[in-house]
Copies of this chain bind each other. A is one copy, B any other.
Amino acid sequence: MRVYNFSPGPAVLPEEVLRRAQEEMLDWHGTGMSVMEMSHRGPEFGEILTRAEADLREILAVPSNYRILFMQGGALAENAIVPLNLLGEQGLADYVDTGIWSQKSITEASRYGEVVVVASGKSSGYTRIPPESEWRRSPDAAYLHLCTNETIGGLEYHWLPEPAYGVPLVADMSSNLLSRPVPVERFGLIYGGAQKNIGPSGLTLVIVREDLLGRAHPLCPSAFNYQVVADHASLFNTPPTFAIYIAGLVFAWLKEQALPGLSALASMEARNIEKSALLYEALDESGFYRTAVEKSDRSRMNVTFFLPKEEHNAVFLAGAKERGLVQLKGHKSAGGMRASIYNAMPKSGVVALVEYLAEFERVHG
């Protein structure tokens, strides 16, 4: 029996994808081999990689002057790899602080150059994204960094900064990439760990505008030098082949989810708006549960909420688990609850959670 898995990541994957991986585990397409056993330079894996990249380029409408790189280390490694590749001679970058993930980016980047925090949600207790009017940007920054979805706090940008100064926009999209359409052409670089909407952990996606290649610091490891990775079509070092295969199956699944007349990502966005609205409405109407994030900045991916009393938490989680609703505990730094409802969480899972919320309130409210 499968559960409804609200894990923030690694997270639920489409059941169809897992079933396909299961079927093909010992013999991929009549080759007599698992994908895990294939040379990364052979024609079979070449087909998997080429298809995955082409599907991602199509789904996300990645312009032809952007390279798609399949890398390793996750967003925490990218927090160093980005400045190692992009800080260049300026040696200065702007960062927006909207919570724990952008703070981690800031801390790591500060080791490589001057980091200017152009705006911070700290004074609001990280319950809102500072509006652009409050940002104090540096005209000579090598780039401006933001985290488009704060997985722990549960905040998400539903707007983008105006293009200004010609400063490239760099975004950690680990937890909302592929959950909605993104105007890639507005960014210099997009990165994200795969383990939310894309595939297994151990795979990092980087989408980078070609003019930003070739600026790496002399001490940047070759395996993490965007120019080197691009020149070798993600095969400089052995890539995480099985994770790329699963991501490719997810991309194919996404294309199958397209509603009539809508793109795959517009369709996912419509579903994600519906699912998150269902949950937020239930929380807002209850008078029992409490949310902290400003309505305009609420994440569609990670819905954070609190019970009236701390001592209710353990009872709530135990009852949820009995009903097959798992991994709902909030991050230890945030407390409370967090329901991560990525692309692969079916609406039925959200409905089941909403029913449980009402039931728990009736008993404990």
Contact = CB atoms under 8 A, between A and B. Distances in A.
A114 interface: no
Contact of A326 (B32, B200, B222): B32
Interface residues of A, number: 68
A76 B222 CA distance: 8
Contacts of A108: 221-222
Interface in A67-90: 72-77, 79-81, 84
A80 B221 CA distance: 5
The A interface, classified by DSSP as helix, strand, loop or mixed, is loop
A10 B241 contact: yes
A81 B81 CA distance: 13
Interface string A107-119: 0100110000000
Contact of A240 (B5, B25, B31, B200): B200
Contacts of A81: 221
A42 interface: yes
A33 interface: yes
Interface stretch (A13-21, A140-148, A183-191, A306-314): A13-21
Given A2-B32, A74-B238, 9 more contacts: A1-B27, A3-B33, A5-B37, A39-B327, A73-B73, A77-B223, A200-B241, A202-B238, A202-B243
